[in-house]
Chain A
């Protein structure tokens, strides 16, 4: 496909060149990359915090940092990784970049709101991290901020934490509204909902969850800040408040938050697998219904985080059943992905290796998840390293692996250059081995008596904690080949051409990188985004 030079079509007043990435750009592609790079910088911060935690846990004694610092570190690690890395990248970065292409639009529905949503993130992140350097002031009550602990730890840090999470939540809501409007209202004429690429459905479902549940978190945190600043008693038992109510409200957002992190990853994998297996996505319709079933069930499972909080028996029973049934739509998706691979022509490149490893990791985390949904099982392992292992298999082994796979898949579109495959495979190997070494042993530790969020532990658990820390070290090293790859190939990489994977989804039917208007002339009508194998007679050229 030949296209004119995109700069010929520069009709906007936006800054050009590298400067636009530091500007209040309204271009969804620029905003997407802003989210991606900003998120990755916070990933390095969150990773450094994780490194501090794993260093403290090399020995059974609390001997690496002061105990209250350790609690600050674990609080910031969780908050940074969730609110500044995974949620913004898997939603904001890929969503902003891809959704307008997928619906055949030239930009998001509300470009200014989109830019505002992004530009809330850097100040919120800097605010959060700077609270760490104000002596003894960072939040120390975990990313869950359960009262009364969050009412008794140093107030300044907790209030800054609340403010930061409110800003990030606001950003998330703006993004969610924008995605819903774009997907439902900006579709190119002639494009039906059931012809959209699967990532659109994933982002529609995710955005519904964002818009329904994030305001509840915001309201809860505002009440919590009243308790801290104005000494009200919403959650303060000494003033007649109820601490368990906070947990209900918090998890009403924070369980759907798991799906806000995971559903977009499901969508991205659904884009990557068909391209590199050269096969249609198996069971498109059931995939769509599965996403919507997960959205619905995801809203009614929150109290499975509270099985030991003194919740009444009927409530435990209800939430066990609802939680277990999420395994059904999720299972359908995994079987459909396996069927997509079956009989394909699979290219085992970095994008594919990360996507296949995602399946392995997520199935493992899903199985421990079904176990955890069972009240009697959960009562033993709740708040232990078993849970730490479980949710890292979901959010790291699941979502972060998909983010890396997506980077290898879409980097040629972002930059017009290919990432180096050898460095990509090295990155994959270090990440996969390091990740499993780090988190698999934690299941045993939890079953045998190690609670989470501790700076010291029974010396009997030393060996496996050291294995876990070695895994964390490998994960830290794995970022080096990635960083080298991304920086070096951006300058000297092999030119990618417009469509190096010979993919059929609309973002590939334009130049790399695309022009400001996405396509020169009319947007293409793609009614079969996964129509591989239909046109076998046509000669095709596929990159390795």
Chain B
């Protein structure tokens, strides 16, 4: 390869990488991050956005450059060069996507593990963990009636690292076209989810009729709520505020209207909310 070509390729690649990094770090496409999981997600998003920008721009620039540089001049009836392949080149561009995909895969696995996604919710250690976390609380109806039937979702492993005390269990029932939140400890039933900042929350979810999905965009978390199969979703809210809960699985004519709110309180305000809404005047 002539030295000038090599320099040009090097310069173009560097410019592309820098552009990708700049775009990934400076173009914000995401809503507010309001859970402990969200900043981790956003970091993954930045990496994917940077790599995606580099690849997309690189390929489009090559394509558009070829379309102009090698366009057929009027009157030119000749063919291009009879190049049928080039093994080293093909090895290079097998390696590029392979390396990108490996890197992205390992990185996102790490992110997923930090989110608690890799805990096997129906193996013994996980069940022990769930039992421990609910020792302070009265065992929830759901866990009592169906031990071992809790299937999937984002588990509580990520919670080990999270400070903030015992896990707050909330039972979620989804139906056409509403979510109902039941606090087994406080005996409160609500149409809105109220949670404190800093305390891990574990939603035990089941649907009554069709499949729904519980999604809070500001938490970057979603989990289907399925009839006949309980699912779990754990998170720790970090920023006080009111965020939408959106049903994300087609569930019937009013699917688009199946929305609620999650109200994230500072711990004191949450205690006050519990106090106000508890049917018994004493709360745990």
Q: Which residues on A are within 8 Å of B, measured CB to CB?
A: 62, 66-68, 70-71, 140-142, 146, 148-149, 152-153, 237-238, 241-244, 277-286, 308-314, 316-317, 320-321, 324-325, 327-328, 330-332, 334-336, 338-339, 341-348, 356, 359-360, 363-364, 367-368, 370-371, 374-377, 379-380, 382-384, 443-444, 447-449, 451-458, 530-534, 536, 539-542
Contacts and interface: CB of A to CB of B under 8 A. Distances in A.
* Among all A-B residue pairs, the 10 with the closest Cβ atoms: A237-B228, A310-B152, A454-B256, A533-B82, A331-B97, A67-B253, A449-B217, A344-B80, A374-B108, A335-B93
30 contacts: A140-B252, A142-B250, A146-B250, A148-B209, A148-B210, A149-B211, A152-B209, A281-B84, A283-B85, A284-B84, A286-B94, A313-B120, A320-B108, A324-B105, A331-B93, A338-B62, A360-B60, A364-B56, A374-B48, A375-B108, A383-B215, A449-B244, A451-B246, A452-B248, A457-B256, A532-B79, A534-B79, A536-B79, A541-B77, A542-B77
Interface string B214-233: 01010011111011110100
Given A345-B71, A370-B101, A531-B82, 11 more contacts: A149-B252, A280-B84, A282-B83, A283-B86, A310-B231, A320-B109, A346-B70, A376-B111, A377-B45, A383-B248, A451-B246
A281 B82 CA distance: 9
Given A344-B70, A347-B72, A377-B45, A310 B153 contact: yes
Contacts of A452: 248, 250
Interface of B: 29-31, 40-41, 44-45, 48, 52, 55-56, 59-60, 62-63, 66-67, 70-73, 76-86, 89-90, 93-94, 96-98, 100-101, 104-105, 108-109, 111-112, 115, 117-122, 151-155, 209-211, 213, 215, 217, 220-224, 226-229, 231, 244, 246-257
A327 B100 contact: yes
Contact of B213 (A67, A308, A542): A308
A277 B80 contact: yes
A308 B70 contact: no
Contact of B226 (A68, A286, A310, A347): A310
A327 to B, nearest CB: 5
Contacts of B226: 237, 243-244, 309-310
A286 B97 CA distance: 15
A149 B44 contact: no
Contacts of A360: 59-60, 63
**Central interface residue in A312, A314, A316, A367, by most chain B CB within 10 Å:** A367
A375 B63 contact: no
**Central interface residue in B63, B86, B223, B256, by most chain A CB within 10 Å:** B256
B96 A331 contact: yes
Contacts of A71: 250, 252-253, 255
Given A283-B85, A335-B93, A370 B104 contact: yes
Contacts of B221: 379-380
B257 to A, nearest CB: 6
A448 B70 contact: no
Contacts of A455: 255-256
**Central interface residue in B77, B249, B251, by most chain A CB within 10 Å:** B249
Contacts of A377: 41, 44-45, 48, 108
A224 B203 CA distance: 31
Given A244-B229, A312-B151, A332-B94, A359 B254 contact: no
